[in-house]
Amino acid sequence: MQYRLEKRPEPSRLMLYLSPVAAVVLTAVVGAVIFSLIGYDGVGAVREIFLTPILNPLKWQDLGVKAAPLILIGVGLAIGYKANVWNIGAEGQYVIGGLAGTGVALATRDFSGPWILPLMVLAGILGGMAWASIPALLKTRLRVSEILTSLMLTYVAIQVLNYLVLGPWKDPMGFGFPQTVMFTSSQSLPRVIPGTIVHLGVPLAFLIALIAWLVMSRSLFGFQIRVVGAAPQAARYGGFSANRTIWLALLVSGGLAGLAGIFEAAGPFGRMVPQFPTNYGFTAIIVAFLGRLNPLGVIFAGLAMAVAVVGGDVAQTTIRLPNAAVGIFQAMMLFFLLASDILVRYRLRRVVPQTAGSAA
């Protein structure tokens, strides 16, 4: 008996929504087996990584704080990937966004007032956009692959960060530590739930994802993005400019990554430090795919990935699982998702072997 893949007339919606769930479940099961095989407590690892953050209410605030940047960056990347614009340098745009906002903070140290924080946020968005506009310019003008340029610029952004915190922006009273001064209270995001670490950026991230979902599903912009990605030829005939779409996709994803950057700087970090790049920009790539490149899906995927990130920290202290294990879980999730993707577009059909005579 043989099976054959057959193209579905239309992508299966059931499989579309089911496959991310299947990917997470498969990751947990296979992860437990693999980690047991290499000598760790595999079942414990899966319990700590996937369940403890959900079951322990004390961890919920961490989930929100970790999910916020992942959702913000993931939404931007999802919009770009939908249009076949492969920005993989969100980490760099996140860093530059954080730096631009920090620049405003350092320049406004002698002032106070409610205008400072919005200005920092604006600078963060513009910083991310500016960094993303380099790949956009090179792609639209010179057809240079945005995959390579956006990634190369991430390494450059990290060097810019190192230069600033080790040099001109170093806190002179910081006992030689490579970091800026602490932000003042008018430069920091307020806490929205008293007694927790949940800052204003967390609800805003969810709100922005919802707005992005509305824009993508209801507006001409969203339609344009989807058409350019799915059928570039048709888009050209329809009068949608490919270059305009590339610019929009990179500016939106860069701006959101920059926003995430300044939210992190003015929120959890409270100053600029060399440890600022925390891989959110790369993890958000997985979040975008896991969320099916749909902003609403990205909210769930961002929360799911935050569970893995928070759980990774838990497992590190409770069962001494190295932090790198989380990266393996994340990659496995993406592998399983991509593997199950084929069932969205194809179905398995049993092939009845034909006799030689009838074939001739």
Partner 1 sequence: MSTDLLISIIITVVGASTPILIAALGELVAEKSGVLNLGVEGMMLTGAVIGFAVAFVTGNAWLAIAAAALAGVLVSMIFAFLTLSLSANQVATGLALTIFGTGFSALFGQGYTGRPIALFGPLFPAELATHPTWRVIFGYSALVYFSLVMVVAVWWFLKKTRAGLILRAVGENDVSAHSIGYSVIGVRYAAVAFGGAMAGIAGACFPLLLTPQWAERLTAGRGWIALALVVFAAWRPFRLLAGAYLFGLVMTLELYAKAAGGRFSILPSEFWAALPYLATILVLVLISLRGRQSNAPACLGKPFLPSN
Q: Which residues bind partner 1 (CB under 8 A)?
A: 4-7, 86, 88, 134, 138, 142-145, 147-149, 151-153, 155-156, 159-160, 162-163, 166-167, 282, 285-286, 289, 322-332, 334-335, 338-339, 341-342
Measure the CA–CA gap between 96 and 347, rounded to whole angstroms.
44
Q: By C-beta, is 221 or 335 nearer to partner 1?
A: 335
Q: How far is the CB of 330 from partner 1 (least distance, A)?
A: 6
Q: By C-beta, is 68 or 332 nearer to partner 1?
A: 332
Q: By C-beta, is 112 or 243 nearer to partner 1?
A: 243
Decide the pairing of beta strands 346-351 and 2-7: antiparallel
Q: How far is the CB of 291 from partner 1 (least distance, A)?
A: 13
Q: By C-beta, is 121 or 153 nearer to partner 1?
A: 153
Q: By C-beta, is 30 or 192 nearer to partner 1?
A: 30
Q: How far is the CB of 317 from partner 1 (least distance, A)?
A: 16
Measure the CA–CA gap between 202 and 350, rounded to whole angstroms.
49
Q: By C-beta, is 183 or 282 nearer to partner 1?
A: 282
Measure the CA–CA gap between 288 and 285, rounded to whole angstroms.
5
Q: By C-beta, is 4 or 236 nearer to partner 1?
A: 4
Q: Write a three-state SS string for the chain.
A: CEEEEEECCCCCHHHHHHHHHHHHHHHHHHHHHHHHHCCCCHHHHHHHHHHHHHHCHHHHHHHHHHHHHHHHHHHHHHHHHHCCCCCCCHHHHHHHHHHHHHHHHHHCCCCCCCCHHHHHHHHHHHHHHHHHHHHHHHHHHHCCCHHHHHHHHHHHHHHHHHHHHHCCCCCCCCCCCCCCCCCCHHHCCCECCCCCCCECHHHHHHHHHHHHHHHHHHCHHHHHHHHHHHCHHHHHHCCCCHHHHHHHHHHHHHHHHHHHHHHHHHHHHCCCCCCCCCCHHHHHHHHHHHCCCCHHHHHHHHHHHHHHHHHHHHHHHHCCCCCHHHHHHHHHHHHHHHHHHHHHHEEEEEECCCCHHHHC
Q: How far is the CB of 43 from partner 1 (least distance, A)?
A: 18
Q: How far is the CB of 156 from partner 1 (least distance, A)?
A: 5
Q: By C-beta, is 111 or 155 nearer to partner 1?
A: 155
Q: By C-beta, is 4 or 109 nearer to partner 1?
A: 4
Q: How far is the CB of 124 from partner 1 (least distance, A)?
A: 21
Q: Are the C-beta atoms of residues 95 and 274 closer than 8 Å to each other?
A: no
Q: How far is the CB of 45 from partner 1 (least distance, A)?
A: 11
Q: How far is the CB of 141 from partner 1 (least distance, A)?
A: 8
Q: What is the sign of the dihedral through the CA atoms of 296, 247, 73 and 115? A: negative
Q: How far is the CB of 186 from partner 1 (least distance, A)?
A: 31
